[in-house]
Structure 1
Amino acid sequence: MSLAEIDENVKLAREFALLGVYDTALVYYQGVVQQISTYTASLREPASWKCMNEVECKHVKDIIKTTSNFKIDNFPAPGQEQEEPTRDPDVWPAPTPPESRCTSGLQLGHSRTFTLLF
């Protein structure tokens, strides 16, 4: 096991991730984790290598999770959506209905009267 092999596998994993082939990228990353764990057994500070690998795998898993949210299968079918009422305190409430409606006319200002036809 050499650092060159580890380097090449990390590059391949990143390339597959960039191309959107996340499952294959994850396989490469998991293989690199095994290679690094074998390699780090001979090092003085194996924790730093392990941390780096865990971060790389976590990033790929996060990308997979994010992109899976964009797939059509995960969206509810039309008509199944239930919209929650708006509960924003800065939004004005609906106007209260008038207690009695004017049926004879509508006054605008002091000079004009319009008749409403119902």
Structure 2
Amino acid sequence: MQFFISYGWPGLAGAVIASLLMSFLVMTLYMIGSRLKTDSHDEAINFICGPWLGKVMDWMITFFLFGSVVVMLAGAGSSAHQQAGVPQALGSAIAAVLTIIIVCLGIKRVITLLSC
């Protein structure tokens, strides 16, 4: 948000538009997957894009999700350093280990933990 806000009102408008577009695209992908009764996002993406472009899109999604995780872990390390004086690398490592443990508990446990 700081990146977008640094450009003033046009940046805020860009953030809102990007959020709306992302929400629309995810909702559309979900609806297509639901109608096709797919077990994976791959099937819905391949239905929309075809097998070759679908594979490219799947790799792009994986790349950006990985990038998001890296940025979030870096932010966790930075926050741990600022708030508790913990070295950034250690804060990121602790966040990574906790994330792996929570994800291994299963989706129902993750939802329960997020709803606390």
The bucket for the TM-score relative to the shorter chain is 0.3 to 0.5
TM-score, reference length from structure 1: 0.33
Structure 2 length-normalised TM: 0.33
Structure with larger Rg: 1
- The structure showing larger relative contact order (alpha-carbon pairs under 8 Å, at least 6 residues apart) is 1
Judging by fraction of residues, say which structure has more strand.
Answer: 1
